[in-house]
Chain A
């Protein structure tokens, strides 16, 4: 029965796909609301950054990269020579590619305050890590014992990365990333107590593991938000 003098719902609620609807067909309120939901969800999933793949990429990079470093540094190395450098570089490049695809690629064509925030955040990462490595280089140059360098370099990076996740949590009001920031700061500080090569195991398992847990939490959240009420 027509409601409030409007056209009858034409039964689109079963599977409203935004692109499948013609341009000029009259809309019932129900169809309109379904269209708002379908089109809104579709546009958001293509425009908004999903942190889950980014966190998963870096988690994998840390597990594999620091894992290889650990296996190369034990008394009976399982990874020989400089193989770990190649492994580390490969996983870092992979993780960086995922991040760029999620952020820069998804936001292409969009301009304004959101993009400005993202750009400033990206520069904060570059500047923070650059500064930390500058400190590490300076200390090494000033005669830091070679045994301490493998403790200092990753730990200083983790302090910066931990603060970056805290910042992401604050800026985008994301509890998962905020929690990850706290965990990363603790992991970075704790890794130095483990000594070499134990610190690499801490970084791979606790650091990389923390990232993977955060990735699965973020993924579950995205699924809950996007999938819960989708038409069956």
Chain B
């Protein structure tokens, strides 16, 4: 079966299983925090080579910052989501939810609670109720960067 191409609204950099898992794990960190490469690798259960490949793609898109530091003369590689990476993840989640229609509030809470990036966006702009479902027009789903609005179903 030929898999149709993703609509442009779902960011192709994030919309791949391995990179989505990396992005989600990094978005669990509070803004400003960063994590060492080995610990990230341990949390994800990925090989170092595989993780490096995906991090490079995320870094090229400007979503991830990889910094090298020295701790007691040992080189340490830190990884963190950039501001635009967090933004892209918030928008990606908003696009997913727009495609899927209303999400039950309890389920929504499960998704948002471990992820400070999403939780902050929700606090910044709690979404008012929105039409229950959106008729399929064939047009790409638009998101609203900068509005901080990700949770359409209301909670």
A interface residues with partner B (beta carbon < 8 Å)? 2-7, 18-19, 21-27, 29-30, 32-33, 35-37, 39-48, 108-115, 225, 228-230
**Contact pick for B40, options A36, A37, A109, CB 8 Å:** A109
Q: Does B145 contact A (CB under 8 A)?
A: no
Give A41 to B115 CA distance when docked, in angstroms.
9
Query: With A2-B4, A40-B115, A229-B106 in contact, is A32–B29 under 8 Å at CB?
Result: no
Q: Is the CB of A36 within 8 A of B24?
A: yes
Which A residues are CB-close (under 8 A) to B143?
A: none
- In chain B, residues 1-51, which have Cβ atoms closer than 8 Å to a Cβ of chain A? 3-7, 10, 15-18, 20-21, 24-25, 27-30, 32-36, 38-40, 42-45, 50
Determine the residue in chain B with the shortest Cβ distance to A32. Answer: B96
Q: Is the CB of A29 within 8 A of B115?
A: no
Q: Is the CB of A225 within 8 A of B113?
A: yes
CB distance from B41 to the nearest CB of A (A): 10
Give A25 to B42 CA distance when docked, in angstroms.
22
Give A39 to B40 CA distance when docked, in angstroms.
12
Give A195 to B110 CA distance when docked, in angstroms.
49
Q: Is the CB of A112 within 8 A of B39?
A: no
- In chain B, residues 64-111, which have Cβ atoms closer than 8 Å to a Cβ of chain A? 78, 80, 93, 96-97, 99-100, 103, 106-107, 109-111
Q: Does B147 contact A (CB under 8 A)?
A: no
Q: Which one of B5, B33, B45, B136 has the highest number of Cβ atoms from chain A below 10 Å of its Cβ?
A: B33
Determine the residue in chain A with the shortest Cβ distance to B14. Answer: A32
Q: Is the CB of B17 within 8 A of A29?
A: no
CB distance from B72 to the nearest CB of A (A): 14
Pairs A-B, 3 closest by C-beta atoms:
A109-B39, A44-B114, A112-B33
CB distance from A215 to the nearest CB of B (A): 20
Q: Does B141 contact A (CB under 8 A)?
A: yes
**Contact pick for B107, options A29, A44, A229, CB 8 Å:** A229
Query: With A7-B4, A19-B45, A23-B50 in contact, is A29–B113 under 8 Å at CB?
Result: no
Give A106 to B78 CA distance when docked, in angstroms.
17
CB distance from A151 to the nearest CB of B (A): 42
Which A residues are CB-close (under 8 A) to B43?
A: 42-43, 46-47
Q: Is the CB of B21 within 8 A of A35?
A: yes
Q: Is the CB of B17 within 8 A of A44?
A: no
Q: Is the CB of A40 within 8 A of B16?
A: no
Q: Is the CB of B97 within 8 A of A33?
A: yes
Q: Is the CB of A229 within 8 A of B109?
A: yes
Query: With A44-B114, A110-B29, A112-B30 in contact, is A24–B16 under 8 Å at CB?
Result: yes
